[in-house]
């Protein structure tokens, strides 16, 4: 069961271009997100949202308690799912002052508008924007296996597993789960490949299942 609890609403427009969004009829207004979280990106897409703005800041600083962790993870889940649809997502991110290069684990997501916290955050954001493209870190489920294809680190890394517990773990982690509820060996494998993000007591699945291919899937 998902632990996600927010955001409760977003602002949305029908186009990616800010100038086009100023035209009459392009602003969809504030759209409520009644849940469940796994259906929100599809619902926004069907409503015509192509540019979405999240409220507040996704706060990954410090050691979040359960409530803060759930809010952050749910917001990240929405950013991830909208990124998979090539929707323009406007969001803000806060990291620890000593986070260093850890922003790279999120670099497959639509770049935020701003990063708060670390020294050099401005350069990190510029690099994130320069290097971002769709399909940078994705997963797919085939007959009897799951495979992750990850280019966040500059080269292609592949992770393939045919044991059913890996597919079950991905399903559990998709919108955040207490780390203790996921088999330790599986979670350690995912952590070793930077495929999950620990946010307080929760672990959250980073790759997305692509909804819009840039080119033929066999090429990706």
For residue range 106-132, list pLDDT tens digits in order. Answer: 999 999 999 999 999 999 999 999 999
- pLDDT for the residue numbered 2: 38
Kindly report which listed range (114-118, 133-137, 207-211) carries the lowest average pLDDT score: 207-211
Q: Is the same domain home to 143 and 111?
A: no
Q: Is the same domain home to 180 and 116?
A: no
Last residue of a domain, one of 80, 99, 131: 131
- pLDDT for the residue numbered 210: 73
Give the model's confidence band at 185: pLDDT under 50 very low, under 70 low, under 90 confident, else very high.
very high
Give the model's confidence band at 7: pLDDT under 50 very low, under 70 low, under 90 confident, else very high.
confident
Domain range enclosing 164: 137-205
Q: Is the same domain home to 185 and 78?
A: no
- Taking the C-alpha atoms of 50, 56, 57 and 60 in order, what is their torsion angle to the nearest 10 degrees? -110
Of the chain, the percentage scoring pLDDT greater than 90 comes to 86
Count CB-CB contacts under 10 A for residue 53: 15
Number of structural domains the chain divides into: 2
Q: Is the pTM of this model over 0.85?
A: yes
- pLDDT for the residue numbered 4: 39
pLDDT, mean of residues 174-183: 96
Q: Is the pLDDT of residue 154 over 80?
A: yes
Q: Is the same domain home to 52 and 122?
A: yes
Q: Is the pLDDT of residue 219 over 50?
A: no
Q: Is the same domain home to 107 and 142?
A: no
Q: CA 128 → CA 67, 82, 97, 136, 210, distances in Å?
A: 28, 17, 18, 12, 19
pLDDT, mean of residues 10-31: 96
Give the model's confidence band at 1: pLDDT under 50 very low, under 70 low, under 90 confident, else very high.
very low
Q: Is the same domain home to 113 and 27?
A: yes
Last residue of a domain, one of 131, 148, 175: 131
Q: Quick check: is 220 in a domain?
A: no
pLDDT, mean of residues 51-68: 94
- pLDDT for the residue numbered 173: 97
Average model confidence (pLDDT) across the chain: 92
Q: Is the same domain home to 108 and 145?
A: no
């Amino acid at each position: 069961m998902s632990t996600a609890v927010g955001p409760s609403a977003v602002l949305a427009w029908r186009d990616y271009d800010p100038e086009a969004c100023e035209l009459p009829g392009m602003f969809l207004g504030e759209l409520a997100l009644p849940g469940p979280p796994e259906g929100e990106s599809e619902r926004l897409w069907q409503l015509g949202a192509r540019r979405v703005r999240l409220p507040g800041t996704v706060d990954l600083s410090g050691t979040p308690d359960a409530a803060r962790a759930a809010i952050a993870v749910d917001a990240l889940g929405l950013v991830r799912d909208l990124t998979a649809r090539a929707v323009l997502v406007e969001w803000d991110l806060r990291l620890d002052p000593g986070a260093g290069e850890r922003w790279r684990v999120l670099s497959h997501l639509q770049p935020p508008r701003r990063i708060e916290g670390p020294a050099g955050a401005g350069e990190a954001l510029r690099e994130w924007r320069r290097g971002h493209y769709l399909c940078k870190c994705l997963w797919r489920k085939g007959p009897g296996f799951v495979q992750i294809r990850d280019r966040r680190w500059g080269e292609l890394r592949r992770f393939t597993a045919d044991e059913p517990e890996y597919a079950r773990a991905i399903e559990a982690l998709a919108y955040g789960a207490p780390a203790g509820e996921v088999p330790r060996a599986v979670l350690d494998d995912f952590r070793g490949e930077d495929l999950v993000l620990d946010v307080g007591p929760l672990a959250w699945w980073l790759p997305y299942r692509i909804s819009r291919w840039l080119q033929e899937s066999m090429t990706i």
